[in-house]
Amino acid sequence: MSLFHKSFTIACLPATLLMPGLALADEAPPAVQALMANLERQMDAKPGYETLTVDGSGNVTITNLTLTKAAEGDDPGFTLKTGEIALSGISEKGPGFWEVGTAKFSNVGLDVTGKDVAISASLPGASAEGWYIRDVGAAPTAQEKLVSSGTFARKMTGGPLTITSAGQSVTVDSLESTWDGDPATGAGTFTSKISNATIPEAALMAMGDGGMLRQLGYTSLNLDISSQSALAVMGDKLGYDFGFTLKARDIGSLGFKGAVADIPVEAYNALMAAQKDGEPADLDAYGPALQNVVINSAALRFEDASIIGKALPLIAAAQGMDEKTFVASIPPMAQLMLVQMQNDAFTKQAVDALTQFLADPKSLTVSISPASPLKVSDVSALQQVKPGDAITRLGLSLKAND
């Protein structure tokens, strides 16, 4: 499951945090028990609830559920409450394998407290469609851990979301994710979108970021966050293509994408577990295998909407220069730095791209695209060669307004 999709499902709280401890309810259908066991393993917390009922069609309704985890040291705790969870269209797809046709969540509230942390969030409603569940048992294989490591649902939606801290609120219009793939392996394509996360001026000032934005002429932030990824499963190895974009409306956007292959499933599971715990992943045991991971491509892209035109005069003034003189000085300075990398073709391409971008700021993209497979071990070896040869091996490029 994609890192970004997992982050999104955690942000879309009803779909993940609301239900872990229900595996303890003997009256719950097997599919619900399996779902709750998987989520309890992921979230390491047990909730209580007022009622759990099953109607004649096998639909499940859970009311007044509370999930609590105490703070430990610097790690904050949380209390999450929901008014109702309704699961319908539960069908068995194979031994220990089910699909929940529709899941609906109502009146969700979250309080996070800890050392120097006090955050609350509310979400009136959310839903999931085509939610796949697998019972992995007490000793799951690496592949089974992968399938149970997150929420595989054809579609998830929620909103509006309100997050409050220190008397200031951030609102999100909607959250949505999709998945299309093989529920037996977890392979498939994922998308997620957080639409119009609005940070008002007062909240920006409280976070200490309002002064600079105000100088640039912005009084608030309206953010759209999206991701796309594809996961391929090949035995005990994974292929992973991903992209992530943060767009500030009327300001600009920043996106990153990449493609890697031959990732050990066990190492991927360790990364997901560390992400859940908010701790660095301990990958020492997978070191030799990770050296064989193949890097196919990577790119970082900026698209301007207005910020470059606003920032250049301010930067120029700080340097004691007028804007025209400052802009004209950038390509020669870049050339002086890049020539030390001993790759004339890349230096010319980069300087030309900067010149083009500064004349008409639209987009700037730096990328690597190796002509032949590049392993992690090869990247380490590049430190021993000339910078120019490393640039050629990586297929490094800088392009403007493409």
Q: Report the pLDDT value the prediction gives residue 276, as an integer from 0 to 100.
A: 58
To the nearest 10 degrees (0 to 180), the angle between helices 323-338 and 307-318 is 90
Q: Report the pLDDT value the prediction gives residue 200, as an integer from 0 to 100.
A: 92
Are 328 and 354 a contacting pair, CB within 8 Å? no
Q: Report the pLDDT value the prediction gives residue 136, as an integer from 0 to 100.
A: 74
Tokens representing 326 are: 């400052």
DSSP of 55-94? -TT--EEEEEEEEEE--BTTB-EEEEEEEEEEEEEEEEEE
Please give the backbone phi and psi of residue 7, each rounded to the nearest 5 degrees, phi first.
-60, -40
Are 124 and 172 a contacting pair, CB within 8 Å? no
Q: How many CB atoms lie within 10 A of CB 127?
A: 19
Q: Report the pLDDT value the prediction gives residue 289, as an integer from 0 to 100.
A: 79
Tokens representing 75 are: 């790690």
Q: Report the pLDDT value the prediction gives residue 8, as an integer from 0 to 100.
A: 36
pLDDT in single tens digits along all 402 residues of the chain: 333 333 333 344 433 333 333 334 456 788 888 877 776 776 677 777 888 899 999 999 989 888 888 888 888 888 889 899 999 999 998 888 899 999 999 999 999 999 888 999 999 999 999 998 888 766 777 777 776 666 689 999 999 999 999 889 999 999 999 999 998 888 999 999 999 999 998 888 877 766 788 889 899 999 999 999 999 998 889 999 999 999 999 999 999 999 999 998 888 777 766 665 556 666 677 778 788 999 999 999 999 999 999 999 999 999 999 999 999 999 999 999 999 999 999 999 999 999 999 999 999 999 999 999 899 999 888 888 899 999 999 999 999 999
Strand-pairing partners, residue 118, are 113
Detail the DSSP E strand segments found in 186-322: 188-199, 221-234, 237-248, 252-264, 294-304
Tokens representing 142 are: 């690496």
Q: Report the pLDDT value the prediction gives residue 13, as an integer from 0 to 100.
A: 41
- CA 242 from centroid of its chain's CA atoms: 10
Q: Report the pLDDT value the prediction gives residue 14, as an integer from 0 to 100.
A: 37
Please give the backbone phi and psi of residue 337, each rounded to the nearest 5 degrees, phi first.
-75, -45
What count of Cα atoms within 13 Å lies in the side-chain half-sphere of residue 274?
11
Q: Report the pLDDT value the prediction gives residue 10, as an integer from 0 to 100.
A: 38
The CA-atom distances, in angstroms, between 218 and each of 164, 213, 231 are 22, 5, 38
Give first-to-last CA distance, the chain, whole Å: 31
């045991």: which residue's tokens? 285
Spatial separation of the C-alpha atoms in residues 369 and 308, rounded to whole Å: 27
Strand-pairing partners, residue 122, are 109, 162
Spatial separation of the C-alpha atoms in residues 43 and 148, rounded to whole Å: 12
Q: Report the pLDDT value the prediction gives residue 39, as an integer from 0 to 100.
A: 67
Please give the backbone phi and psi of residue 267, each rounded to the nearest 5 degrees, phi first.
-70, -40
Are 254 and 302 a contacting pair, CB within 8 Å? yes
What count of Cα atoms within 13 Å lies in the side-chain half-sphere of residue 148?
27
Strand-pairing partners, residue 52, are 62
3-state secondary structure of 401: coil
